[in-house]
Amino acid sequence: MIILALLSLPVLWAFAWGKESAWNGQTPSGTDTPEPFRPYYVPPGAKSYDSSSPLIHFTGSWFDSFNIMYVATTLRWTDEKGATARMTFVGTGIEWFGGLDRSHGIAAVFIDGKKVQEIDTWSNVSRKQQRIFWAFNLPYGKHTIKVRNLGKGRVDSPVIDIDAFVVTEGYTTLPITLPLTLDLSNAAPQPGQFQSFASQTQWTLEQKGVTGVSAMQLIVISDTHALIIDKVEHNPVSIEGHPAWAALFNLRTHAVRPLKVESNSFCAGGTFLSNGTLINVGGNPVVGGYTSAADFGDLDGLQAVRIFEPCPSASAAHCNIYENHSRIRMASPRWYNTVIRISDGSAMIVGGSKKGGWMNNETVNNPTIEYWPPKSIHNSIGLPIHLPFLVRTLNANLFPIVFSLPDDRIFIAANQDAIIYDWRTNQEQTLPRIPNECRVTYPMAAAGLLLPLSPEDGYTAEILLCGGSTIDDKKPGYEISSQDPASSQCSRLLLTDQGIAAGWVVEQMPEARHMPDAVLLPTGEVLIVNGAGTGISGYGNVIDQVGQSNADHPVLTPVLYDPTAPAGQRFSSEGMKSSAIPRMYHSVATLTPYGDIMIAGSNPNLDRSEMKYGTEYRVEWVSPPYLKKNRPLVHKPPKALLYGQNLILSVKLPPSTDKARNIKVALMDLGFVTHAVHANSRLVYLSSSLFSDGHSLQITGPPRPAVYPPGPGWIYVVVDGVPSVGFQVMVGNGDGPPVDHTAWDNLLKMTAVDQYEASKKTKGKKKGQYVDNTE
């Protein structure tokens, strides 16, 4: 049995604050002088009680120690078997901080008289102010924690100590009770094991599991795991003596395995390449301060290219993130960039800002694209290529909405505008302006999707944009309110000559929302979740903030959008369950291979917070009605699919009295999800035909790479509106994208490692070296 609280032991906290406005425009006071980097942390909405507090009652023999490395310079310890420390508190959570070393032993922890865990506080490395135990999401009210020395361990007369208790006081308007300890070995619903009290026409919503790190970025990497990436902050799980800001989340068991990330991945983008390698690019600079980032090797993330190799194993035990900035980096700094996979299997990296902040502006704008691996295209020789569209669309143009089109061009939307970009000729085609002054990219984020592609109409592309805001992006933050209304507008544009001439077709969602997540389902429908009814993305920038949030009025009820239904009948929340968990800034959602929808995140805060709209770690699962029905089965599915290749699937179809079965085969990219952007999200219906035996289904691979760029995909067989469990395939031959060594060598020669830091120092630049130091 794995207990979630054990994942935080041992813990060393790290959250990087700095002199530069690198954290969403925030520069906390007191960050000019680095302090010792230790795990002890009291988030907003919590209160600390050090070992000398009269509210902590001790039984047995305890001894006082004094040292500046202890909380409030005091610590109380015991080596007596059966000695206890007890505190009664009012709130929703409790954390115990203490020491770890070779003299320590095993303690039992009780909450409200019930033993919940035994914890071994022995460590080969001596560490102070460690987070030994934590329990969040208790029912609001009076609780008692008791810690008892069991007198067991690896040494005689083992020690336990109390440095401090930190109480989460319960600033929450919608409390949800979780089990105090979570058995992560069998927590997840397995196929066929969902408990449902709803009718066959209803959706279900249940909360199970926690992410361990705040889910700012999310991508499904296998049928068992999703990768979660955050910014550097005080997350509950740790790795190598500091808090983790990336983790693998087991979709079946809900176990969390923290991953080491060397650079700050705050607001990065990502994509799979054609060989299944995942890259995560961009982020934030090194920022010193309370956490002394250098203590754990935090690197400038602005040019980072983080490598995550294919990881199909069910255990994910050897899956790791690799960085080497001296050899593997982008040419220019990027924060809030969008990354997509294009038809040759490489990554196109679009836009962003040259350093962290809030609203983009001309001094920090990065109006370029570049490729990974680097290309020599358009005489760039691996360096960035100017994109005028990203100048015209200032200020609200971060995290542009980008999709690779089946004609091998690129759709890009930012602010109120959109283009089709021909990456082979470096030409822009201007599209009609998005109607009604609706802005659709950060910090007025809307959801954008490429609607399903089908061979029946020659894979004609159509774009859907939902939500956003009409707030003027030239206004300063002190003229913007968290109460300014979001937009309910959805706009569709058919990307044919006739469709472009006709312009955007506008319809209205049942509720206005910005920062929504739009999730494609194998059925071709779109589930819209998350978001806020008022305000703007980010935190700490506007008036009428709620906690630190720039937004308010979370939208709690999902809505289903059917793109094939008649106009005026496309939206429905029938049978939907409303959530009790606000999901606003830094929330994510994705379809899983099983066919349900995973929802996580929400953190409109500089660091972990327990105030209203605090840092959210709970995971919710939305189950469509089709999960309750007999589902198609695919026996021994293939692992690869070539372009134009015919394959025979062995299938078992659900029983039906209707001889005219409606069978579709959906090839899907589940997308890299962050900040309402679902980069690469894609559904391509494959040509298919069922043989007369009723068990052999022939499918044909996509006709060309532009229809589905080479790389990983998921296939769902959909019969009469009910999809099978998805199985993963490699589309194409599985080779990596083309590598242009001349471009790569030139990038390394002409750019500096972590050039944002170098540009501030204005020295160390070689003659002729490309350093983008516009400020």
For 362-392, what is each residue's pLDDT tens digit? 999 999 999 999 999 999 999 999 999 999 9
Two tokens, residue 338: 């969008």
pLDDT interval class at 235 (50, 70, 90): confident
Mean pLDDT of 83-87: 98
Mean pLDDT of the chain: 88
pLDDT interval class at 239 (50, 70, 90): confident
Q: How far apart are CA 394 and CA 402, in angstroms?
A: 16
Kindly provide the residue ranges of all beta strands, DSSP E only, lying in 540-586, ordered along the sequence: 549-554, 559-561, 571-572
Residue 773 pLDDT exceeds 50: no
Kindly provide the residue ranges of all beta strands, DSSP E only, lying in 483-531, ordered along the sequence: 489-494, 505-508, 517-520, 526-529
pLDDT at 765: 46
pLDDT at 639: 97
Tell me which residue of 520, 526, 521, 717 sits closest to 631, measured CA to CA.
717
**Number of residues that make up the chain:** 775
For 475-522, what is each residue's pLDDT tens digit? 999 999 999 999 999 999 999 999 999 999 999 999 999 999 999 999
Two tokens, residue 247: 């983790």
Provide, rounded to the nearest whole percent, the portion of the chain with pLDDT above 90: 79
Largest CA distance in the chain: 84
DSSP 584-614: -TTEEEEE-TTS-EEEEE---SSS---STT-
Q: How far apart are CA 460 and CA 455, in angstroms?
A: 8
* Structure-model confidence comparison of residues 565 and 297, the more confident one: 565
* Those residues with Cβ within 8 angstroms of residue 646's Cβ, 6 or more apart along the chain or in another chain: 698, 699, 700, 701
Which of 121-130, 192-201, 245-254 bottoms out in mean pLDDT, i.e. has the lowest?
192-201
For 718-761, what is each residue's pLDDT tens digit? 999 999 999 999 999 999 999 999 999 999 999 998 776 656 55
* Structure-model confidence comparison of residues 195 and 151, the more confident one: 151
Q: Cα dist. 282→16, 300, 330, 759, 760 in Å?
A: 16, 9, 8, 17, 18
What is the 3 state secondary structure string of 247-284?
Answer: EEEECCCCCEEECCCCECCCCCEEEECCCCCEEEECCC
Q: Is 683 left (phi over 0), alpha (psi -120 to 50) or beta?
A: beta
Q: How far apart are CA 492 and CA 504, in angstroms?
A: 5
Q: Cα dist. 594→34, 359, 496, 614, 680 in Å?
A: 46, 38, 34, 30, 19
Find the Cα–Cα–Cα–Cα dihedral 642, 648, 654, 660, rounded to 10°.
100
pLDDT at 771: 53
pLDDT at 214: 97
Can you state the percent helix, strand and coil of the chain, rounding each to 5? Answer: 5, 40, 55
pLDDT at 298: 57
pLDDT at 620: 98
Q: How far apart are CA 56 and CA 35, in angstroms?
A: 28
* Structure-model confidence comparison of residues 775 and 311, the more confident one: 311
Q: Which residue in the block uniquely carries the two structure tokens 């002054």? A: 437
Tell me which residue of 148, 28, 167, 202 sits closest to 97, measured CA to CA.
167
Kindly provide the residue ranges of all beta strands, DSSP E only, lying in 691-748, ordered along the sequence: 696-700, 711-719, 722-723, 727-731
Do residues 161 and 75 lie in contact, with contact meaning Cβ atoms separated by under 8 Å?
Answer: yes
Put the strands of the sheet holding 597-601 in their side by side order.
204-210, 618-623, 597-601, 587-591
* Those residues with Cβ within 8 angstroms of residue 641's Cβ, 6 or more apart along the chain or in another chain: 647, 667, 699, 701, 713, 715, 729, 730, 731
* Residue type (1 letter), 15: F
Q: Cα dist. 513→486, 489, 676 in Å?
A: 5, 9, 11
Two tokens, residue 254: 């809900």
Do residues 215 and 232 lie in contact, with contact meaning Cβ atoms separated by under 8 Å?
Answer: no
Residue 172 pLDDT exceeds 80: no
pTM: 0.89
Strands 368-372 and 93-100: unpaired
